[in-house]
Amino acid sequence: MLNPVIISVGIAALAVFYYFQNKDISMSYKIEKILLLSFEDYKQNGWPYDVYGPISHSHRNMPRSGQPLGWIIVDTIDTLMLTYNYTQNDATKKKLLKNIEFIENWIENELDYNMDSEVNVFETTIRMLGGLLSGYYLSTQVEVGNPAVYFLKAVDLADRLALSFSNSPSGIPYSSVNLKTGEAIKNHVDNGASSTAEFTTLQLEFKYLASISGNKTYWTLAEQVYEPLYKVNDILNQYDGLVPIYTLPDTAQFWGQNIRFGSRGDSFYEYLLKQYLLTHEQTYYQLYRSAIDGMKKHLVKRSYPSGLTYIAEKPYGLNGLTSSKMDHLVCFMGGLLAMGATEGYTIKEARSMDFWDSDREDDWILAMQLTHTCYQMYHQLPAGLSPEIVVFNYPESERNQYEQISDTERISWWTSPTEDFFVKPLDGHNLQRPETVESIMFMYHLSNDTTYREWGEEILGNFEKNTAVKRNGRVEAYTSLNDCMHVPTSKRDNMESFWLAETLKYLYLLFQDNVNLHEIVFNTEAHPFPVLDKAKMDRLNLTTEWSLN
């Protein structure tokens, strides 16, 4: 006779299993509804414009030509494809397919990049070229769409963007390019300097395109920026692997001393690791390792009084005062450190592999700590959503190391319940950014710790509650916020494309079970590319052709 205790324990275990399984399905369905509602509101009231206000239904295109770049449309296509692949709801699947076909028809027949307009090379690469390339990749994997449509449009756009490299003596591209004439244009401000993160965040897109087109020129152009940048500035010795946020494109020399992992610095570090993950090229892991070691030495700090881990800034160089300011943008670093430690394997698998060492263990711990800090930036706010920027509190005994926060500022700034961080009045907006849920998604799939799903569910609920646009009591769309320090929230009439391209995608993937992070690499706009086949790379002679020696 079976032991009744064993039977009851087994039944309880099954009950817990089915509870969480059903909960995850429920969360997936909820996100599917938000995605379709957001996209179909745009489709009805903002199509095909690049900028859309879901409250007023206002819309405009970004280029001066008046033609659409497909800013929201192309950025969204792979989110719809991934959701189509995962959904278990037949009605949802049909709606997604209809929208995918609608977008694909527009891309093939209406989208024309031969426009007499200046565009930012970085933004157009990560959003438009990245979106087209991931559309190509996913259309070959999930049996929806025509890969040729995305491939041909990607080649057309990449050939136009590549002309931004043409006038630069150093090989570093200028910030903008005219898509029709090919004229490369320097930054209109900052002494013509290029953002260091911008010209070092083209490489995944151009290298993946080189691998599927067989055209090595894309690879060569994207890679040629690194040798002058590292050698002219002696980055490893003079900057401990870190970089100031501006670079003069003609000479490759840094302009200014401001070092940070927020805006204009962030994706420089991201693409060092992700090039290694995409291409297996060890040079980029070595550069990433140097940068992370430099970050730990100079920028990783703890708040007062609770000891929240954050990444500070050095606005006056490595030897200057530290700023305890941290952009929400920096919250991608939890996921990046976790991927750098594990290379996409679960932490249990990674710790048994030959590559595991004490540096990676330390990176993993830091990844958990940073992700927890970024969660607190949501959890402690009245709206349950993070502001754009926070300033962390520091212990009085260390005040001489930091840009000082005056008593007047401490009174006038919003203070978190634990007193670990402050928010300035002009920094309290929320643009529905993805970086925290990005890290939460990576941490969940690499650890299998359900705490991360609980955090994601909490954040999603606060997006639902506080960013919904309602008419006659019915939710019609979701939008940005002017202020998340007070409830009810003040809404901003703008839906950024990354709400659809990144935030909802990462939240959706958080609640899927079969996400293999060892086989795909997300670009900085959450567009997935497959890890490149080493044998194919060898056949096409796609290899790193520079070194620091």
Which residues are known to be catalytic?
123, 266, 388, 435
CB 265 within 8 A of CB 315: no
Q: How far is CA 249 from the centre of its chain?
A: 25
Q: What gap in Å lies between CA 38 and CA 72, rounded to an integer?
A: 11
Give SS3 for 402.
strand
The CA-based angle 363-368-370, given to 5 degrees, is: 90
Taking phi over 0 as left and psi of -120 to 50 as alpha, with beta for the rest, 343 belongs to left
How far lies 281's CA from each of 266, 286, 294, 364, 522, in Å? Answer: 21, 9, 21, 22, 17
Give SS3 for 51.
strand
CB 523 within 8 A of CB 529: yes
Q: What gap in Å lies between CA 162 and CA 541, rounded to an integer?
A: 20
Q: What gap in Å lies between CA 265 and CA 517, rounded to an integer?
A: 24
CB atoms within 10 A of CB 380: 17
DSSP annotation string for 473-539: TEEEEE-EEEESSSSSPEEES---HHIIIIIHHHHHHHT-S---TTTEEE-TTS-EEEPPPHHHHHH
CB 175 within 8 A of CB 186: yes
Strand partners, 480: 492
Q: Known binder of ligand: residue 524?
A: yes
CB atoms within 10 A of CB 478: 24
What is the dihedral angle through the alpha carbons of 83, 89, 95, 98, rounded to the nearest 10 degrees?
70
Q: Where are the beta strands (DSSP E) in 49-103?
A: 51-53, 58-60
* Annotated binding-site residue numbers for Ca(2+): 524
* Annotated binding-site residue numbers: 524
